[in-house]
């Protein structure tokens, strides 16, 4: 954390009406400037307290980080705080430590870390200063809750849900015991095959912690994809806090709902906080256990602003508080797996399915010499037919939404391109038989041209297929089947994902067509066949993590099949049946895959055997971005004395992003790598300062990401 104190840009001088007693406050503000800002106050302030401070013509909520005896700037230039907020006690010290760590590690100003970590009403000055602010958001919420009487539990949709605790099998039992036996901090990596009952382990471990009067933070990648879990938690822990033990935190909540959950957890009223990545920074006074389910999931990584990994922050927080952390997955990230291999994490394993059903049989359908009909091999079509006749459900998995990824002119070869991005536009079917071209990068759309814009030919053909076209084909081929599609398009409206999933669970759907959304967490009881259509498209992606991601995704989607009975099958169509990813998948062999992949990473010096940071620059023209990056690549070597760890750091050549232009902005990136994390961190601290200066001069927007997930 930088202690340099820049004066707030003030036009007016100090307040002449200021009384005798003067206190000083060093405040973190959410502004894109490094450092902290000093103010004076007639009223005492304490560290962790929220305040409203003038900043230029604006008023901003900030957090007091220090109360110095003397200000860092001329007292005459100090401006007084507008308000010291006392609707909440000062933020707890462990929260301040977590924020300071995140600021340091991710190289972002403290204020840009702290303020976004608070629920919006607590960080907006207008919540306190506006005409209708009525004592601030906390008071308003309390009044509203009092008026509403007891808080509605919001417990719905759990009908038919099995919520009773299971008798644990021996593997589950020993996992729970091992977690309970942990003294203080330690990280457990719970690897359990799909359907092995990891959730049951979490719940039993959580109960032990709750019984000791401590709180539990339970993190999941996305809540709307696993609405069952909320119901199960509520029912299973109804004996705590009069049925109000659970608070839920995710981005689908309104500001008011978010504030309510946050307050319940921060005051200790909620004993379990179930949430997505944003939950990791919630103050919890009695925190005794952190669970990170599907720890490998990309959703734990924030992709803008502070690009943090909620899993990594959870591990840091557990360490700081001396509290155990359980990371669970069927396919752990190679980072976590390597920690376990090296003995830093305690490995626990669930090797059998909890319901004693066998894992589904996985069959590769070699498509090299097959004639496909709309992307389907005859074998897969026949298998679907058989499963439907046996009254079983079928899942068709395809990671591409829309009707067709591109529209093409058959006579001149024109293809539909986005006017603002270097990307094809995707043909989407709309309601009432209409269609349009949609860009998946900038979100823009345009009508489907009647004729080729280049040659005027009327014969424009959709090329390839997405979920909509697959759904259409299946409806023609299996006219009596009830077909449902679940992807980002069909679940855009609030509550629609829940509705579609519950139709599947109730058996109102015979064939489910879906993207990765359907792969996660769901316990489909009657699913007999999973058909995977275009996995190959992910095989040769440039990103070194692509095989890891593909393997995890395929294991997850395969794991939806046959959870409640034997005889289930997964069919994977591929032109490359001998790829190691597929071979390991076929044997359900995570360990084999992980060992192979880790060996490859080690040979190439890639993470987790090295540490990376990624600098992305953007401008109207690619040249601007590249010039800036080249300058930043060369700068450290020209000033070696300010970069003492430079000899341990490798700066790659700047390259354009794979999709160079998005929404008329062109982007390039520069990768930094080091075998030593401290050396990289030390380098980044200096580089970040230089970036700030150079970026201002070059008028280039940039972002620095530590431990980038996708390169």
Name which of ligand ADP, Zn ion, none residue 155 binds, using a CB cut-off of 5 to 8 Å depending on partner kind. Answer: none
* Interface contacts to ligand ADP, rule CB under 6 A: 162, 166-169, 172, 192, 194-200, 354-355, 523
Q: How far is the CB of 412 from Zn ion (least distance, A)?
A: 3
Does 441 help bind Zn ion (rule: CB under 5 A)?
A: yes
Name which of ligand ADP, Zn ion, none residue 649 binds, using a CB cut-off of 5 to 8 Å depending on partner kind. Answer: none
Residue (of 512, 536, 699) closest to 618 by Cα position: 699
**What tokens were used for 134?**
């009525």
Q: Is 635 left (phi over 0), alpha (psi -120 to 50) or beta?
A: alpha
Is the CB of 199 or the CB of 377 nearer to ligand ADP? 199
Name which of ligand ADP, Zn ion, none residue 195 binds, using a CB cut-off of 5 to 8 Å depending on partner kind. Answer: ligand ADP
Distance CA 691, CA 702 (A): 9
Name which of Zn ion, ligand ADP, none residue 172 binds, using a CB cut-off of 5 to 8 Å depending on partner kind. Answer: ligand ADP
Is the CB of 529 or the CB of 616 nearer to Zn ion? 616
Is the CB of 169 or the CB of 416 nearer to Zn ion? 416
Is the CB of 12 or the CB of 167 nearer to ligand ADP? 167
Does 437 help bind Zn ion (rule: CB under 5 A)?
A: no
Name which of ligand ADP, Zn ion, none residue 414 binds, using a CB cut-off of 5 to 8 Å depending on partner kind. Answer: Zn ion
Sequence-separated (6 or more) residues with CB below 8 Å from residue 67: 23, 24, 25, 26, 45, 46, 47
Which residue from 248, 418, 558, 672 is in contact with Zn ion, where contact means CB under 5 A? 418
Q: How far is the CB of 491 from ligand ADP (least distance, A)?
A: 21
Query: Interhelix angle for 198-211 vs 227-236, to 10°?
Result: 40
Is the CB of 271 or the CB of 408 nearer to Zn ion? 408
Is the CB of 257 or the CB of 523 nearer to ligand ADP? 523
Does an H or E element contain 383, and which?
helix 378-389
Distance CA 250, CA 230 (A): 12
Is the CB of 418 or the CB of 672 nearer to Zn ion? 418
Distance CA 464, CA 367 (A): 15
Which residue from 104, 166, 363, 420 is in contact with Zn ion, where contact means CB under 5 A? 420
691 burial level (CB within 10 Å; 0-12, 13-18, 19+): buried
Choose one: 127-135, 213-221, 431-439, 620-628; the region binding Zn ion (CB under 5 A). Answer: 431-439
Q: Say if CB 341 and CB 591 are below 8 A apart.
A: no
Name which of ligand ADP, Zn ion, none residue 192 binds, using a CB cut-off of 5 to 8 Å depending on partner kind. Answer: ligand ADP
Does 659 help bind Zn ion (rule: CB under 5 A)?
A: no
Torsion, CA 620, CA 625, CA 628, CA 632, rounded to 10: 150
Which residue from 15, 382, 457, 459 is in contact with Zn ion, where contact means CB under 5 A? 457
Distance CA 71, CA 56 (A): 19
Q: How far is the CB of 199 from ligand ADP (least distance, A)?
A: 3
Does 439 help bind Zn ion (rule: CB under 5 A)?
A: yes
Q: How far is the CB of 193 from ligand ADP (least distance, A)?
A: 7
Q: Say if CB 199 and CB 521 are below 8 A apart.
A: no
Choose one: 20-28, 51-59, 187-195, 455-463; the region binding Zn ion (CB under 5 A). Answer: 455-463
Does 426 help bind Zn ion (rule: CB under 5 A)?
A: no
Distance of CA 697 to the CA centre of its chain: 33
Sequence-separated (6 or more) residues with CB below 8 Å from residue 385: 478
Is the bond preceding residue 608 a cis peptide, omega within 30 degrees?
A: yes
Q: How far is the CB of 666 from Zn ion (least distance, A)?
A: 13
Q: Say if CB 163 and CB 200 are below 8 A apart.
A: no
C-alpha to C-alpha distances, 202 to 128, 165, 249, 422, nearest whole angstrom: 40, 12, 18, 45
Q: Is 663 left (phi over 0), alpha (psi -120 to 50) or beta?
A: left
Q: How far is the CB of 468 from Zn ion (least distance, A)?
A: 19
Strand pairing of 569-574 and 527-532?
parallel
Please work out the total of residues on this chain that contact Zn ion, with binding judged by CB under 5 A.
Answer: 14
Q: How far is the CB of 392 from ligand ADP (least distance, A)?
A: 17
Residues found near Zn ion in the complex (CB under 5 A):
409, 412, 414, 418, 420-421, 439, 441-442, 444, 452, 454-455, 457
């Amino acid at each position: 954390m930088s202690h340099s104190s820049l004066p707030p840009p003030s036009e007016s001088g100090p307040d002449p009406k200021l009384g005798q007693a003067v206190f000083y406050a060093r405040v973190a503000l959410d502004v894109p400037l490094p450092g902290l800002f000093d103010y004076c106050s007639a009223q005492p302030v304490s560290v962790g307290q929220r305040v409203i401070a003038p900043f230029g013509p604006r008023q901003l909520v900030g957090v007091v980080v220090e109360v110095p005896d003397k200000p860092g700037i001329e007292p005459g230039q100090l401006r007084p705080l507008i308000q010291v907020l006392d609707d909440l006690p000062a933020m707890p010290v462990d929260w301040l430590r977590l924020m300071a760590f995140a600021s340091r590690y991710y190289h972002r100003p403290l204020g840009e870390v702290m303020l976004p970590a608070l629920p919006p009403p607590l960080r907006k000055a207008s919540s306190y200063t506006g005409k209708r602010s009525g004592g601030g958001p906390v008071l308003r919420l309390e009044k509203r809750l009092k008026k509403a009487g007891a808080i509605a539990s919001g417990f719905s949709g759990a009908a038919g849900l099995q919520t009773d605790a299971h008798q644990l099998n021996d593997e589950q039992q020993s996992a729970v015991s091992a977690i309970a036996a942990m003294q203080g901090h330690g990280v457990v990596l719970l690897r359990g095959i799909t359907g092995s009952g990891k959730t049951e382990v979490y719940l039993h471990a959580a109960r032990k912690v709750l019984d000791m009067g401590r709180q539990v933070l339970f993190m999941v990648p996305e809540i709307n994809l696993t609405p069952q879990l909320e119901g199960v938690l509520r029912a299973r822990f109804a004996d705590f806090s009069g049925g109000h033990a659970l608070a839920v935190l995710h981005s689908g909540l309104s500001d008011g709902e978010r504030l309510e959950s946050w307050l319940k957890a921060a005051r200790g009223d909620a004993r379990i906080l179930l949430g997505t990545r944003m939950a990791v920074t919630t103050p919890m006074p009695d925190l005794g256990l952190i669970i990170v389910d599907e720890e490998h999931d990309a959703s734990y990584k924030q992709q803008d602003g502070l690009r943090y990994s909620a899993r990594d922050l959870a591990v840091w927080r557990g360490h700081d508080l001396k509290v155990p952390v359980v990371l669970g997955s069927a396919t752990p990230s190679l980072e976590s797996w390597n920690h376990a291999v090296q003995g830093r994490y305690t490995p626990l394993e669930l090797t059998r399915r909890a319901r004693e059903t066998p894992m589904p049989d996985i069959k590769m359908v070699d498509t090299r010499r097959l004639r496909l009909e709309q992307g389907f091999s005859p074998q897969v079509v026949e298998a679907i037919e058989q499963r439907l006749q046996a009254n079983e459900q079928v899942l068709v998995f395809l990671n591409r939404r829309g009707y067709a990824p591109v529209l093409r002119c058959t006579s001149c070869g024109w293809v539909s391109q986005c006017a603002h991005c270097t990307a094809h536009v995707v043909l989407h079917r709309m309601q009432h038989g209409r269609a349009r071209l949609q860009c998946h990068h900038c979100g823009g759309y345009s009508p489907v041209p009647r004729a080729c814009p280049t040659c005027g030919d009327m014969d424009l053909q959709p090329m390839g297929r997405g979920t909509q076209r697959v759904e259409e084909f299946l409806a023609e081929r299996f006219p009596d089947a009830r077909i449902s599609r679940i992807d980002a398009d069909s679940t855009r409206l609030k509550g629609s994902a829940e509705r579609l999933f519950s139709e599947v669970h109730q058996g109102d759907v015979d064939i489910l067509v879906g993207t990765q959304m359907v792969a996660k967490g769901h316990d489909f009881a009657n699913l007999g066949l999973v058909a995977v259509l275009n996995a190959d498209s992910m095989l040769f992606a440039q990103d070194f993590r692509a095989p890891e991601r593909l393997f995890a995704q395929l294991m997850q989607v395969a794991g939806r099949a046959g959870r409640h009975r034997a005889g289930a099958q997964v069919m994977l169509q591929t032109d490359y049946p001998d790829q190691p990813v597929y071979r390991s998948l076929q044997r359900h062999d995570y360990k084999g895959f992980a060992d192979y992949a880790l060996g490859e990473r080690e040979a190439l010096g890639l993470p987790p055997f090295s540490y990376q940071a990624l600098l992305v620059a953007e401008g109207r023209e690619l040249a601007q971005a590249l010039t800036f990056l080249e300058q930043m690549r060369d700068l450290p070597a020209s000033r070696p004395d300010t970069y003492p760890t430079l000899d341990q750091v490798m700066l790659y050549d700047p390259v354009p992003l794979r999709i160079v232009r998005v929404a008329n902005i062109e982007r390039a990136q520069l990768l930094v790598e080091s075998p030593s994390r401290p050396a990289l961190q030390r380098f980044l601290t200096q580089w970040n300062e230089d970036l700030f200066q150079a970026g201002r001069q070059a008028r280039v927007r940039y972002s620095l990401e530590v431990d980038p997930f996708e390169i």
